[in-house]
Amino acid sequence: MLAGAFLVAAAAASCSARQPLPTYAVPAGTAFTAGELVIGTMMTVEGSPCVHVKMLGQAPVALLWPPGFTAGANPLRVYDPQGVEIAAEGDTVTAGGSWTDKWSVDCGTQGYFEVLDFNRGEPTFAN
């Protein structure tokens, strides 16, 4: 009985452990601006270690992150480098950054979005 309880506790701990998210490299001295927006529902794609955003009428887009961002599973939750939850699976999210049309070894996708700015919810625009 004790062994069974230990296995359940170990399985629960492994499901909730945070893992680093796939990142992209930024050459020293490079200045970036979040020139493109991705707005959609945050989700996972079976077989991929990457977080994806599903835009209305489009295939899911794999996201690569600046260093320090992590994710937990069951359900998916994303955390910033300070450990603050910034989004969960099913949330509408807005990511600013840039699209790269190269093969991603990390995500197993042709193309990915490099996140520079990320927010839970849809964007609000000032008049």
CA distance 117 to 54: 17
What is the per-residue pLDDT across 101-124, written as a single tens digit (0 to 9) for each? 888 888 988 889 999 999 999 877
pLDDT value of position 92: 97
Please compute, for residue 11, the number of CA atoms within 13 A of its CA located in the half-sphere on the CB side. 6
Q: What would the mean pLDDT of 37-46 be, rounded to a whole number?
A: 93
Contact (CB, 8 A) for 51 and 71: yes
The CATH fold assigned to 19-120 is OB fold (Dihydrolipoamide Acetyltransferase, E2P) (2.40.50)
Contact (CB, 8 A) for 121 and 78: no
Residue found under tokens 């490079």? 30
Residue 91 tokens read as 């949330």
Q: How far is CA 41 from the centre of its chain?
A: 11
pLDDT value of position 7: 31
pLDDT value of position 31: 62
What is the per-residue pLDDT across 7-35, written as a single tens digit (0 to 9) for each? 333 333 445 689 999 998 776 766 666 58
What is the per-residue pLDDT across 58-93, written as a single tens digit (0 to 9) for each? 889 999 999 999 999 989 999 999 999 999 999 999
Provide φ and ψ at 77, rounded to 5°. Answer: -140, 140
